[in-house]
Structure 1
Amino acid sequence: MSKRRYNNYNNDFYHSKEWKQLRLQALERDLYQCQECLKQGKHTFASTVHHIVPLRADKSEALRVDNLETVCASCHNLLHPEKLKGIKAKKRVNRVHKLRGVVFHANPKN
């Protein structure tokens, strides 16, 4: 049985030589800086490479370096809220939003 952390249909892709080379190219291009944090004027070390157009949406974009951006773990979690499960994960996302100044308001009653 596989001991991989995530068991999904993209495991083989993310362990391929092509992906590893392209991932390193994106990290070096972005100087290991989170591109989402940079948009807010923050400099954050990052080691995660994110597909802007997800693999599930368009597999032809999988190995295009201009479809990749380097992001920190916090930003990657915000970009993929569907992957977070459980109350602790939801609290973590809310805490990150709060630190970034994002405020959620309840819908007004009609």
Structure 2
Amino acid sequence: MCQECKRRGMTTKGTIIHHKIEAREDLTLFWSADNLECICPACHNAEHPERSGGAKKVKPKTNVVKFYANNER
């Protein structure tokens, strides 16, 4: 059963396992059962519009530290 549809009071067959927090954001949660949910293809496409040709969803930036290489040794 699609968990996203269930939250909206609908009953839909879920066929895709979805990461609530994407793996690229936190790889430690990749196999965590608490981070996975079953959703239908329509809800999955809404969560990932960039995969079906739409624009990427804007996500709030977290505290990110970037490191760049330099020529010093």
> What is the Cα-based RMSD across aligned positions, in Å?
0.9
2:6 maps to a residue whose letter is L
**Unpaired segments of 5 or more residues in structure 1?**
1-32, 91-110
Percent same amino acid at aligned positions? Answer: 39
**Which runs of no fewer than 5 residues in structure 2 stay unpaired?**
55-73
Deviation at 1:76, TM superposition (A): 0.3
Pairwise CA distance, 1:47: 1.2
Q: TM-score, normalised by structure 1?
A: 0.47
Distance 1:62 1:72 in 2: 20
Pick aligned residue for 1:46 from 3, 6, 14: 14
Runs of 4+ in structure 1 over 4 Å off: none
Structure with bigger helix share is 1
5 Å matches for 1:19-98? 33-85=1-53
Report the count of equivalent residues.
54
Is the partner of 1:82 in helix, strand or coil?
helix
